[in-house]
Amino acid sequence: MSKWHPTRPTDPQVQAGIDHLVVAFANANATASYTPKVPFSTLRTEYPGANMMIAVGGWGDDIGYFQLSKSDATIQQFAADIATMLTNTGADGVDIDWEYPGGNGADYKQVPNDQKTYQIAAFPKVLAAIRKAIPDKLISIAVPGKKIDMIAYTKETGPKIWPSVDYINVMSYDLMNRRDKVTKHHTSVAGTEDVIRNYLAIGAPREKMNLGFAWYAKYFTTQGDCSDNPLGCPIALAEDPITGQDLHTSGAWTFESAHMDAVNVSSISVSYDGTCGPEKGTRCATGCCSQYGNCGTSPDFCSGGCQHAFGTGCTDADVAGSWQRAAENGITDQQAGGQYYFDAQSRLFWTWDTPELVSRKFDIVKKYKLGGVMAWSLGEDSAGWTHLRRMADEMAKLKSTTANGRTSTTASSSVVPDEPTTAQSSSAAQYSVVWVDGTQNGPTGDYSTEAGSPPDYTVDYNGHRNPVAPLPEDDNAASTALIGSSNTMAPIQPPVLAPTSLAPAPALQQAPSSPSPIALAAPTPSPPGPPALNTPFSHDTFTPDPGYVNPNWPAHNVPALQPASGQQPQPHRAPYSSRPMQPVDAPVGAGGVVPVAPAAPVAAGAASSLISSAAMLDGQERGAYTGGGSCRLRWRKKGQGV
């Protein structure tokens, strides 16, 4: 369902038991006015009985959370806006994706952490206010995997956070990013277990925790030859030490057909509109095909993920070719439980999860009696759905160890001595599988299988993004996300969340004793084919790089040449943490970003955003789109209070 990773499984054996659907993302400063691109009424028809949730925030949504957490008044208004959003859309819950309260966000170079310390105390207040505003709805939070980012998650703050939420989505991936200095696994069994132990150590309730998986690989350019010692090898500088700008020496690669299959050069035709890449099936007539699928000749196009097979003149490593070698020759670190490969030809270090390692991670779920698992992201595993299928197989095995809805003590009795006794066990619980797949907003028909950020930042999963100029046609666009479950166990009567007569959450109702057939949505239609060569160009959607000439352009309708900085990269998303920013004063679409004072808070329940405009650092928080791609798969064991 994601515009940039739109493929979804339609085989009932793969896409079985859908019971949640999440829209991602609403802006933190524009929640009350948020409208899903696909109405929930339509989605409820496609997925009868499913819970509908909306994710708010995501990676890069710094200004929204920065402003709303400033005072008790703004916090209360934000909570009221959340309630209004759920009422207006008919959603059953909200996902708070604040990355990250207390600092280390996308703007950490411009707004240092010491200017965000107030957010540590504000974060629990925000969640408590939301819980009070929507007592009968679902609330989930996305929490960081790296311990350095757990600024607001401590033994002191935890008891104020956990009671307000139903799910804790642990992003136990991206454990290596572009802020690191040496190579290591971005996701591994050992690293994932460390993340879970960190949260158990501060008292996070295990029955609410979802173990995170990543359905994408990451790559990093090294300083030299790491053939002898691929792990712990120094990497090339990946971000500007002053601005935090991506230096295009690292990135991410999804498990989609366009990435997993070798390129058939004979099937590639010349681009008719200046776009290129595996999704389009076209190559540039002249110049490079950028990682975002645009033709051009400047360094912005010819480096940093340049697609070698779809143009000429790339100056960086051939990432696609390197991945083919990595996928074929990858090495399993049996001790740490991670897959890696060093490609000496391209000097790229690769790190990812295999289906076999997915199975090993389920031992963590059983060992610590966790509530479930999640994965980023559904559309990124479309080349055979190998990770998804393995997770389904492991879920079936996990169910086989239970009886009458209760987890076998032999299946999950292993306990680490230093686990806190405050972390409650959920031995009697319901299992379900949860999917989240978000549709980003961008120019119609443009999408990419490149894993990475939403279009407000022009980099990948690694670290932080650089803003691009906003596109007015994308204002007020929305996105969608899938969640699903397989409810085969005896239901638990929740002591906290009571359904109301307005919108009872299906997950809180009596579940059937056996799975029921699920009505599957029809596959997303393929983009229309290319128009005739004499079709006029749209100057609103394409501006060529200086010097780029396509021989197919009609002589009377060559697009006006603009500076290379005017090129808009095709959007791609980041793991659950992706989140673009709303442009200042959107949808008016003013050219420059002019700092203005925040608008006065609107009345509670009013269908408008908490902050209609806010001061933004020039060149820092310019969001190009209002939606964020999101996709997770989560098997949940629902415990008390869920």
**pLDDT, mean of residues 492-510:** 33
Domain membership flag for residue 288 = no
Inter-residue contact 146 to 173 (CB < 8 Å): no
Q: Domain of residue 54: give its range.
A: 20-218+354-529+575-638
CA gap 327, 33 in Å, rounded: 44
Strand (E) or helix (H) holding 169: strand 167-170
| Residue 623, both tokens | 């969001």
Domain membership flag for residue 186 = yes
Domain membership flag for residue 245 = no
Q: Concatenated DSSP letters for 499-527?
A: --SS---GGGSPPPSS----PPPPPPPPP
More confident residue, 181 or 473: 181
| Residue 496, both tokens | 């906290």
Predicted local confidence at residue 266, as pLDDT = 84
Inter-residue contact 598 to 67 (CB < 8 Å): yes
Q: How confident is the model at residue 43 (pLDDT cuts 50, 70, 90)?
A: confident
**3-class DSSP assignment, residue 312:** coil
Check whether 294 has a pLDDT greater than 90.
yes
Check whether 137 has a pLDDT greater than 60.
yes
Q: How confident is the model at residue 398 (pLDDT cuts 50, 70, 90)?
A: confident
Neighbours of 75 (CB within 10 A): 21
Predicted local confidence at residue 550, as pLDDT = 52
CA gap 573, 449 in Å, rounded: 9
Number of domains in the chain: 1
Give residues with Cβ within 8 angstroms of 330, minimum separation 6: 339, 340, 341, 350, 352, 354
Separation of CA 197 from chain center: 23
| Residue 192, both tokens | 């994932």
| Residue 348, both tokens | 């790229």
Q: pLDDT above 70 covers what percent of the chain? A: 61
Predicted local confidence at residue 593, as pLDDT = 36
Q: How confident is the model at residue 219 (pLDDT cuts 50, 70, 90)?
A: very high
Q: How confident is the model at residue 432 (pLDDT cuts 50, 70, 90)?
A: very low
Domain membership flag for residue 274 = no
Q: How confident is the model at residue 589 (pLDDT cuts 50, 70, 90)?
A: very low
Amino acid at 500: T
CA gap 16, 614 in Å, rounded: 43
Predicted local confidence at residue 397, as pLDDT = 87
Least confident range from 90-104, 339-353, 450-464: namely: 450-464
Domain membership flag for residue 92 = yes
Q: Concatenated DSSP letters for 447-487?
A: -----S--TTSSS-SSS--------GGGTT-----EE----
Check whether 524 has a pLDDT greater than 80.
no
Mean pLDDT of all residues belonging to the chain:
71
Which of these, 574, 589, 569, lies nearest to 628 by C-alpha position? 574
Predicted local confidence at residue 476, as pLDDT = 34
Predicted local confidence at residue 543, as pLDDT = 52
Which span out of 73-77, 275-279, 389-393 was modeled with the highest average pLDDT? 73-77
Strand (E) or helix (H) holding 375: strand 372-376
CA gap 257, 486 in Å, rounded: 27
Predicted local confidence at residue 376, as pLDDT = 83
Q: Is the peptide bond before 377 cis (omega within 30 degrees of 0)?
A: yes
More confident residue, 89 or 474: 89
**pLDDT, mean of residues 327-351:** 98
Predicted local confidence at residue 42, as pLDDT = 79
Predicted local confidence at residue 10, as pLDDT = 72
Cα 63–120–368 angle (5° rounding)?
A: 110
Predicted local confidence at residue 140, as pLDDT = 94
Domain membership flag for residue 13 = no
Predicted local confidence at residue 633, as pLDDT = 40
Q: How confident is the model at residue 420 (pLDDT cuts 50, 70, 90)?
A: very low
Q: What is the pLDDT of residues 475-492, one digit of tens each?
A: 333 333 333 333 333 333
Check whether 416 has a pLDDT greater than 50.
no
The domain spanning residue 50 has which CATH number? 3.20.20.80
Give the orientation angle of helix 355-367 with respect to helix 386-400, to 10 degrees: 30
| Residue 509, both tokens | 């109702």
Check whether 632 has a pLDDT greater than 80.
no
CA gap 204, 194 in Å, rounded: 14
The Cβ-side half-sphere exposure at 242, using a 13 Å CA radius, reads: 0
Q: How confident is the model at residue 604 (pLDDT cuts 50, 70, 90)?
A: very low
Domain membership flag for residue 27 = yes
pTM listed for this prediction: 0.66
Domain membership flag for residue 199 = yes
CA gap 485, 17 in Å, rounded: 5
